[in-house]
Amino acid sequence: MRAERGYGLLLLAVACVSVGSIFVRLAQAPALAVAFNRIFLASVVVTPFAVPSLARAWPALSARRRLLLLASGVSLGVHFATWIASLAYTTVAASVLLVNTAPLFTLVFSWWLLGERASNAVLIAMAVALTGAALIAAGDWDGGTASLTGDVLAMAGAVTLSLYHVIGRGLRDALPLSAYVLGVWATAAATLAALAAAARVPVFGYPLRTFALFLALAVVPTVFGHGLVNRSLRRIPAPTVGLFLLGEPIAASVLAYTVFGEMPSRLTIAGGVLVLAALALVLRGEAA
């Protein structure tokens, strides 16, 4: 029963995270404003529950771990900035598929920064995923440089998301989950506020409809989606959770077609199949 409940939560989590790209498009606001409000409002939602545990845990953290927490939050902020920006240039399918290559970059950074060795299966999966990414880019070629810019931004989002995971590894054990989440999200929000100020992009003062979509982004894919993933991880092995989350690009693409009439090209679909197959290979290897 415990495992069955975990799978139910996981399916709900996939549904929640899959609507994120749709809400971003519907908001029709600058990427930095969308990114800031998403993570800032999510931080506000969790603050009443997380502040006490963060206040208790912070004094016990070493200076190194405090810096790692800040670096993890900065990486998360840049992830949201780049990935959300990509949705203004390329299709939802291409953007979500490419940003979901983050686990492969996590393996690369784990090898580079932590000295963890990659198996032959992982190396093969990386080659397959890169081939898939190349096909997605080729499918966007007809869209001109703008579509390719979106692909590059989505890949940058994948790289920074993987950095967020690698840098934050170990912090989840050093901090209560709620304290870790608030610390990282608040840092990400501060990072995005600084980027928006530098780019002279206003983060407040948008119409009520846009603010409602900002709030929906904060609550549905961020607080509920990622929160349910964390709960599922307590009942289900991480590789299995990762395999379920591969449903996000598929669900997001279906939603994009339903809401915007956006049909991915044949090359994007072919590249997506390769990317998802590569990620599945990596996750299955972790489960072995």
Average pLDDT over residues 186-208: 97
DSSP string, 38-96: HHHHHHHHHHHHHHHHHHHHGGGS-HHHHHHHHHHHHHHHHHHHHHHHHTTTS-HHHHH
pLDDT mean across residues, the chain: 87
Average pLDDT over residues 72-101: 94
What six digits make up the tokens of 228? 């349910």
Residue 2 has pLDDT above 60, yes or no: no
| pLDDT > 90 in the chain, percent | 49
Higher pLDDT, 77 or 132: 77
Q: How confident is the model at residue 84, as a pLDDT?
A: 97
CA-nearest of 81, 27, 17, 85 to 250 is 17
Count of the separate structural domains present in the chain: 1
DSSP string, 23-45: HHHHH-S-HHHHHHHHHHHHHHH
Lowest mean pLDDT among 32-41, 44-53, 181-190, 234-243: 234-243
What six digits make up the tokens of 126? 């990386």
Instruction: Give per-residue pLDDT as tens, 45-81.
Output: 999 989 998 888 888 888 999 999 999 999 999 999 9
- Nearest-5° Cα angle at 228, 224 to 233: 155
> Per-residue confidence at 285, pLDDT binned at 50, 70, 90?
low
Phi, psi of 70 (to 5 degrees): -65, -40
Higher pLDDT, 162 or 195: 195
| Structural domain range at position 145 | 2-287
Lowest mean pLDDT among 77-91, 136-150, 171-185, 249-263: 136-150
> Per-residue confidence at 102, pLDDT binned at 50, 70, 90?
confident
Residue 5 has pLDDT above 80, yes or no: no
CA-nearest of 179, 193, 163, 173 to 72 is 163
Task: Scan for tokens 């609507």, then name that residue.
Answer: 19
What amino acid occupies position 208? L
Residue 143 has pLDDT above 70, yes or no: no
Lowest mean pLDDT among 9-23, 135-149, 255-269: 135-149
Residue 171 has pLDDT above 90, yes or no: no
Lowest mean pLDDT among 36-45, 101-110, 111-120, 171-180: 111-120
